[in-house]
Chains A and B, each alone.
Chain A
Amino acid sequence: MARDDLLNLTIAQAAPRLERRELSPVELTEAMLQRIAAVNRRLNAYITVCEPQAREVARATEQIIRAGYYLGPLHGIPIALKDNIYTRGIRTTAGAKILADFVPGEDATVAARLKRAGAIIVGKTNMHEFAWGGTTDNPHYGTCRNPWNPERFPAGSSGGSGAAVAARTCLGALGTDTGGSIRLPSSVNGIVGIRPTIGRVSNHNVVPLAWTMDTVSPMTRTVEDCVTMFEVIAGYDPFDPHSAQVPLADYRAELGRGVRGLRIGLIRDYSLTHVQKAVGEAVRGAVKTLEAEGARVEEIAMPSIHGNISAQLTIESCEPSAYHQEWLRTRPGDYGEDVRTLLEMGELYLATHYIQAQRYRSVLRREFLEGFKQVDVFVTPTLPFTATPCGATEVVIENNQKEDMLSAIMQFTGVPSLAGLPALSLPVGFDPDGLPVGMQVIGRPFDEAGLFRLGHAYQAVTSWHTKSPAL
């Protein structure tokens, strides 16, 4: 196959070719490594490229498949992992100087499961330092850039994973999501990403940000590929005390069900409010497309939703500051300025602020569970704006008014994080500058299958996910 054709393969397209031995895992991995070599200096999507390991595993994989031991749809598929996910024998920095030399002695559960399924890890991706931020403007490993326009940010904190997938340097990646860190980079890089229900995917051996909100999950170009990775990593893990013993759905079977009869909720005065014009138009267009496919749309009131940003900032400030308490006193100069400041501020909240924010989560969750009696999913934009210039700390959403980036970026993604609900981001258009727009779909607890069903139905009748950046 021609190199460009190899780069554009999805997992669903590559897997049967690998199984039938029409495509060699060595050839596919080599194409990805060459692509990384060609674009990573511009994008800074990878902190560590696992070149020798990936080549060695690819050669072994070729032998194993040739011998008739095909393990399934991830066997021989080159993937990338965010650099806060432990990889045995490969350094795991979490984007931090403090962990620059940390080489774990064991894998994260998710890394081990992907390896057992035969995936080939080509590298560890760049991220916002310790996942505490949404820009991936990393002071230690370089500013990560958006493949659609390298002057723009890839969002974060899993910005490297988002850029790596969009730039065709791997067929899928894992990110982590506390307040939006998978969904935000999925949106601005024009790819698919899911935040699972808390407890659905193991956090074991993943460097934490905020224990009560952290999740791990895939970022891919299509919903179908997202399912392929999700099926492998989801499920109970005795090593993670938050892991849930809830049976997995038949995610693949759900993909063919379409959206006829599905009830979509828009949250009154919230879902399409305070967004850039192009973002609002793209999301309205996506909802119309789903209606044309047979979904019904209803507007639902959710009176408590407007406290969400404060609750998220409080929890996301206090929990990381507890985790970092010793390093903040012994190695303060080793943090980047933004993360150091956030960690310092997180120590200065009162206990009652933190507890009231955790109580707010109960109120918000109850309103969502009530809402789910009337609708099956809720829809919002993933973020209210498209990719901003790298280094920006403020953003204009409407009326030429500048807003603080950190608060503005979590306008929509913080809500499912607080309520413990799964949420999918998928590409639904572009702004006039050619920058991708994403839509967030929020589901019932543990109903990731319903999100995949909607996302796949949407991608079956649209082509946004097939566009690629001209790098």
Chain B
Amino acid sequence: MLPDKKEEPVTKETVERLCVLADLPLPPARRDALVAPLSGLIAAANELSRKMAEGGRRSVLPITRFPER
């Protein structure tokens, strides 16, 4: 199980680095506007990731196409 540590907030610098990685050239004002909403979304996604990374769930496969029955 991953450590249940308190989330680091997403910062202006984080968003700037992620935009570089994504090859998404955003003006500074737009990047700054993403910080607060993205903090909430990423914190929630990390919480879900921690749950899904638990040992008992290692055999779970992703679903991207649903079985017919």
Q: Is A212 an interface residue (CB 8 A)?
A: yes
Chain A positions within 8 Å of B38 at CB level: 345, 348
Kindly identify, within residues 12 to 61 of chain B, every residue whose CB is under 8 Å from any CB belonging to chain A: 15, 18-19, 22, 24-26, 30, 33-34, 37-38, 40-42, 44-49, 51-53, 57, 60-61
Let me know if B22 and A347 touch, CB within 8 A: yes
* With known contacts A345-B41, A347-B22, A362-B60, A199–B66 Cβ distance under 8 A: yes
| CB contact between B60 and one of A345, A353, A363, A404 (< 8 Å): that residue | A363
* With known contacts A348-B38, A356-B48, A198–B66 Cβ distance under 8 A: yes
Closest to B68 in A: A244
| CB contact between B48 and one of A344, A360, A404 (< 8 Å): that residue | A360
State in angstroms the CA–CA spacing of A199 and B69 once bound together: 11
Kindly identify, within residues 373 to 429 of chain A, every residue whose CB is under 8 Å from any CB belonging to chain B: 404, 420
State in angstroms the CA–CA spacing of A247 and B56 once bound together: 36
Q: Is A329 an interface residue (CB 8 A)?
A: yes
**Stretch binding the partner chain, chosen from A116-124, A256-264, A309-317, A460-468:** A309-317
Q: Is B5 an interface residue (CB 8 A)?
A: no
* With known contacts A242-B65, A317-B41, A347-B24, A311–B48 Cβ distance under 8 A: yes
Q: Mark A347-366, 1 if CB is under 8 A from B, else 0.
A: 11110110111111111010
A-B contacts, CB under 8 A, total: 104
Let me know if A310 and B60 touch, CB within 8 A: no
| CB contact between B62 and one of A307, A362, A446 (< 8 Å): that residue | A362
Chain A positions within 8 Å of B1 at CB level: none
Let me know if A362 and B22 touch, CB within 8 A: no
State in angstroms the CA–CA spacing of A323 and B67 once bound together: 24
Let me know if B34 and A353 touch, CB within 8 A: no
Q: Is A197 an interface residue (CB 8 A)?
A: yes
State in angstroms the CA–CA spacing of A420 and B67 once bound together: 9
Let me know if A314 and B45 touch, CB within 8 A: yes
Q: Is A253 an interface residue (CB 8 A)?
A: no
Let me know if B62 and A310 touch, CB within 8 A: no
Chain A positions within 8 Å of B60 at CB level: 359, 362-363
The number of chain A residues touching the other chain, given as a range, is: 35 or more
Main secondary structure, interface of B, reads helix
For B, the interface residue count at a CB cutoff of 8 angstroms equals: 35
Let me know if A246 and B52 touch, CB within 8 A: no
* With known contacts A199-B68, A328-B24, A341–B52 Cβ distance under 8 A: no
Let me know if A360 and B30 touch, CB within 8 A: no
Q: Is A245 an interface residue (CB 8 A)?
A: yes
Let me know if A445 and B66 touch, CB within 8 A: yes
Let me know if B69 and A363 touch, CB within 8 A: no
| CB contact between B41 and one of A199, A313, A347 (< 8 Å): that residue | A313
* With known contacts A345-B34, A347-B22, A348-B38, A359–B66 Cβ distance under 8 A: no
Closest to B38 in A: A345
Let me know if A349 and B34 touch, CB within 8 A: no
| CB contact between A329 and one of B24, B37, B52 (< 8 Å): that residue | B24
| Distance of B37 from chain A, by nearest CB (Å) | 6
Chain B positions within 8 Å of A347 at CB level: 18-19, 22, 24
Chain A positions within 8 Å of B26 at CB level: 344
Chain B positions within 8 Å of A246 at CB level: 68-69
Kindly identify, within residues 320 to 352 of chain A, every residue whose CB is under 8 Å from any CB belonging to chain B: 328-329, 341, 344-345, 347-350, 352
- Interface residues in chain B, defined as those with a beta carbon under 8 Å from any beta carbon in chain A: 15, 18-19, 22, 24-26, 30, 33-34, 37-38, 40-42, 44-49, 51-53, 57, 60-69
Q: A245-B68, A347-B24, A362-B61 are in contact. List 20 more A-B contacts (CB 8 A).
A: A246-B68, A313-B44, A314-B41, A341-B34, A344-B26, A344-B30, A348-B18, A348-B22, A348-B34, A352-B49, A353-B48, A355-B62, A356-B49, A357-B48, A358-B62, A360-B48, A360-B52, A361-B62, A362-B60, A362-B63
7 contacts across the A-B interface (CB closer than 8 A): A344-B30, A353-B42, A353-B48, A359-B61, A360-B51, A361-B62, A362-B60
